[in-house]
């Protein structure tokens, strides 16, 4: 099986937690739906599609879109000031937002079809992943081969289902997120929390796995993750 590994320069990640109010805490990692949304916008810029058609096109191209933690992100709160100029009278709002600070983000994409060239073209046009301050720049795109292996761990976010939960162990964090199709679900993230920092961790997985050719990425076999 072939995958695409993308490296982004990504100084600030800010994706508002769906259950937060007023003080907007951020997810520590990218949601799968956020990655799909960024690629969908790029497909629109390429004149491939329009509107919601681009979301469907992105989902038809990519089965899995998951961030891989590889450094220690730091939480940071900041005040964001925005103007409501479209309401007739200019008003300013000051909101406390949380950002996750790091230098680089790595994202694994698993294509559904052999359209890697189109996905690559779209990736180079991705300029934002998350809220308006979450600007990104592509650093590198490369293809990665996966093969069956006996490693009993994974290091990608995994959607929790009844069958999956009994196979998980180790150190991970659970967050409600939306998957590639926009469905809300609980995800196990390969992270541990250390004060205001997150550290990458491995999730032990008592199931069949696939390993990347460089033995740095470990994912479950099958589609239900």
CATH of domain 2-84+93-220: 3.30.70.3120
Closest CA to 75 of 104, 99, 97: 99
Q: Domain extents for the chain?
A: 2-84+93-220
| pLDDT tens string 165-178 | 889 999 999 999 99
| pLDDT tens string 175-225 | 999 999 999 999 999 999 877 788 899 999 999 999 999 889 999 999 889
| pLDDT tens string 37-57 | 999 999 999 999 998 999 999
pLDDT at 23 (0 to 100)? 56
117 CB neighbour count, 10 Å cutoff:
8
Beta bridge partners of 62: 111
Reading phi first (left if > 0) and then psi (alpha if -120 to 50, else beta), residue 88 is in: left
Between the alpha carbon of residue 194 and those of residues 74, 123, 158, 180, the distances in Å are 10, 32, 21, 29
Between the alpha carbon of residue 45 and those of residues 41, 114, 124, 150, the distances in Å are 6, 21, 11, 42
| pLDDT tens string 144-160 | 999 999 999 999 999 99
pTM of the complete model? 0.88
- Half-sphere CA count of 119, side-chain side, radius 13 A: 27
| pLDDT tens string 55-71 | 999 999 999 999 998 87
């Amino acid at each position: 099986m072939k995958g695409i590994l993308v490296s982004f320069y990504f100084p600030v990640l800010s994706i508002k937690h769906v259950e937060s109010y007023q003080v907007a805490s951020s997810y520590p990692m990218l949601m799968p739906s956020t990655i799909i949304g960024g690629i969908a916008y790029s497909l629109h810029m390429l004149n491939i599609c329009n509107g919601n058609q681009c979301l469907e096109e992105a989902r038809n191209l990519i089965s899995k879109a998951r961030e891989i933690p590889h450094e220690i992100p730091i939480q940071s709160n900041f005040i964001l000031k925005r103007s409501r100029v479209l309401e007739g009278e200019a008003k300013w709002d000051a909101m406390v937002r949380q950002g996750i600070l790091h230098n680089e983000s790595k994202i694994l994409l698993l294509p559904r079809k052999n359209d890697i060239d189109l996905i690559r073209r779209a990736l180079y046009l991705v300029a934002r992943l998350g809220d308006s301050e979450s600007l990104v720049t592509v650093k590198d795109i490369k293809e990665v081969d996966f093969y069956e292996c006996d490693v009993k761990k994974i290091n990608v976010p995994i959607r929790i289902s009844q069958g999956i939960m009994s196979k998980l162990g180790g150190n991970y964090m659970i967050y409600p997120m939306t998957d590639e199709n926009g469905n809300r679900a609980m995800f196990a993230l390969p992270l541990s929390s250390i004060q205001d920092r997150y550290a990458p961790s491995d999730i032990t997985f008592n199931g069949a796995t696939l390993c990347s050719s460089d033995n740095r990425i470990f994912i479950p076999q099958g589609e239900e993750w």
